[in-house]
Amino acid sequence: MSTTPTEGIEALLHEQRTFAPSPDFVAQANAGAELFEQAAADREGFWADQARKYVQWETDFGQVLDWSEAPFAKWFVGGRLNACVNAVDRHVEAGHGDRVAIHWVGEPEGDTRDITYAELHGMVQRAANALADLGVGEGDAVAIYLPMIPEAAVAMLACARLGAPHSVVFGGFSAEALHSRIEDAGAKVVITSDGGYRRGKPSGLKPAVDAALAVGETSVQHVLVVQRTGQDVEWTEGRDVWWHEALEAAAETHEAQAFDAEHPLFILYTSGTTGKPKGIFHATGGYLVQCAYTNHVVHDVHPETDVYWCTADIGWVTGHSYIVYGPMTLGATQVMYEGTPDTPHQGRFWEIVQDKKVTILYTAPTAIRTFMKWGREIPDRYDMSSLKLLGSVGEPINPEAWMWYREVIGGERCPIVDTWWQTETGAIMISPVPGVTETRPGSAQHPIPGIVAKVVDDMGQEVAKGSGGYLVLTEPWPSMLRGIWGDPARYKETYWSRFEGMYFAGDGAKLDEDGNIWVLGRVDDVMNVSGHRMSTAEIESALVSHPKVAEAAVVGAADETTGQAICAFVILRQEAVGEADEAGEGQDLVAELRNHVAKEIGPIAKPRQIMIVPELPKTRSGKIMRRLLKDVAENREVGDVTTLADSSVMSLISEGLKHGD
Ligand code: WTA
């Protein structure tokens, strides 16, 4: 593990601006200051209240938290519920069936669908029956590999309805990555589509599933295929089934059964510090409670009046918690958008805000920085007066981007919630509470009511105000991960062994003089590229699997738009060196290696830069000194090289790179 990042702390410490919420906002806000007092007075009692407020239990729970086998938690012990019934059925039963659940906006202009809760109810019942007809039952894992279409949410909810844990794999992952995730979870069925739209063109998804299943032995018995683009697909008789045909053939109604609060709801793979992605798994009860609670108090969703829009992809945790489980458990109306922000033009997001009268927008700093780059004239063309609150997630938001978001998008009127959390935490942990907190640009500020977070030093002692350290969570929380799928030892080791009795988040943070928390970024070998977590080790092993590569080291270098960018240093195998030396060959090889990474992991993992070098800087014990490579990647003077086994390596690298220019 490297040291706490301290670069930039000084500049951030001088950020003094604060913005109080307007009286109008405060008057309508879902949460007030008393929430903090209630949570502080009796934390478990507080969570019990939230659990009963936000979720409908088929059987009420007894004990709130069983921490006797820490770090393996049980929340709302003995409680029984169905997540899908909570997200859909009960809103229909309460007479809100006509409320729009999803204003879906397809990437091709004019391609839209509005789906009410009553319609969603019909879809999830048929989908649950169709899955049951394919043999899916309680405890059977289902992989979902879909574009941003309503069927993605329907598929997840149908699985939840059956007690079948879903494992959603982001559509930008390759067949290889999909294969390992399918097999690790032991998925019985894969739900995919023929394809999806990407920057104006249909692009195939099913071919990746076909390729993933052709790799070898598989647990998969059926592939359920949604028709989205109408493109041709290969068909494996007996295995492949059209979604629309299966739903049509399935019974119309489905009686949902309640499951234990601790029943696994889903698995979601995320990058860790080794080459093997971790299957983070979440239980039903606590997860649902914290998703709904945070969507209510942090995003300030008023289900009767708001139009909420979270721009994340369903393949990431943000899409799970804040497209599907949070807003739907509240019975909210939301926008779901299939495409990219610049298709077919750079004003697409703002056009959607204007057309759908979006009131709450939740997006990522990398998107905000991109919009900044495109210029304010673009959003200025649209009427965005419907907006009342803005949210940010996924990576640190720099004060400049925060201020731009506030002024240009929020018309200086909307509070901004900078929400810190992780796949592992399941829901928001650190964030302003918008009707209460005076916000400070660039800081996630404080744990929300019910959560305890601290910044500690190497010894696990809380740091003083004005200092930096590691971000830890000192008390269990309802939506915490229940483990790593199939690997309890790795769960303990990764999160609970660094500091006794504390959850180690892997992020560096600092406390400012006012006690605000500033999350600075990862302190482990995980990069954050456009808000996507990428493991250096995973990309290194993808590179090394190429026949021409002998060794590889990957670092995340600071990047103005994407936060970090992937930079790889590669040593070639002897036989490939000569080839690369010939005129022009080096460039071809770099392109070949970038494509190889895309094939192994996915296009999102393609390095921005690949540098072919003769050596890598290593310590005497053989550990690659990434810090020095980062200096090179960020065009800085190379730091202290005294611990290198061979101190001439860095000059060799710099020399080589100069020649390469
Ligand atoms: C980073 C996404 C600073 C952090 C929900 C964390 C943030 C990782 C913030 C989790 C934020 C997320 N400020 N950094 N508001 N939100 N991060 O699992 O490094 O994809 O550990 O979950 O993103 O990424 P993940």
Instruction: Kindly report, residue by residue over 157-199, the tens digit of the pLDDT.
Output: 999 999 999 999 999 999 999 999 999 999 999 999 999 998 8
pLDDT beyond 90 at 54:
yes
pLDDT value of residue 576: 77
pLDDT value of residue 408: 98
pLDDT value of residue 448: 98
pLDDT value of residue 621: 77
Tell me how crowded residue 197 is: count the other CB atoms within 10 A of its CB.
Answer: 21
Residue to substitute in 266, 282, 519 for testing ligand 1 pocket (most ligand atoms within 8 angstroms of CB): 519
546-660: CATH number: 3.30.300.30
Strands 468-473 and 503-511: antiparallel
- When computed from its CA atoms, the radius of gyration of the chain, rounded to whole angstroms, is 24
Does residue 143 have its Cβ closer than 6 Å to ligand 1? Answer: no
pLDDT beyond 50 at 420:
yes
418 Cα to the center of ligand 1, angstroms: 10
The pLDDT tens digits for 355-366 are 999 999 999 999
Instruction: Name the token pair of 203.
Output: 């692009």
pLDDT value of residue 585: 63
Instruction: Name the token pair of 326.
Output: 């949070």
Strand-pair partners of 308: 334, 360
> pTM of the prediction?
0.93
pLDDT value of residue 580: 63
pLDDT value of residue 2: 38
* 6 is known to lie in a ligand binding site: no
d(CA 6, CA 562) in angstroms, rounded, equals: 20
Report which of 550, 566, 589, 447 is spatially closest to residue 505, judged by C-alpha positions.
447
Are 479 and 426 in contact by the 8 Å Cβ rule? The answer is: yes
User: What is Dmax (Cα atoms) for the chain?
Assistant: 74
pLDDT beyond 80 at 463:
yes
pLDDT beyond 90 at 109:
yes
Residue to substitute in 533, 562, 564 for testing ligand 1 pocket (most ligand atoms within 8 angstroms of CB): 533
The residue ranking higher by pLDDT, 215 or 189, is 189
* 588 is known to lie in a ligand binding site: no
Are 164 and 82 in contact by the 8 Å Cβ rule? The answer is: no
> What is the percent of the chain where pLDDT is above 90?
84
pLDDT value of residue 4: 40
Are 164 and 142 in contact by the 8 Å Cβ rule? The answer is: yes
pLDDT value of residue 624: 84
Average pLDDT value for residue range 31-44 = 98
Does residue 431 have its Cβ closer than 6 Å to ligand 1? Answer: no
* 439 is known to lie in a ligand binding site: no
pLDDT beyond 90 at 397:
yes
Question: Among the atoms of ligand 1, which is closest to the Cα of residue 270?
Answer: 18
* 486 is known to lie in a ligand binding site: no
pLDDT value of residue 508: 95
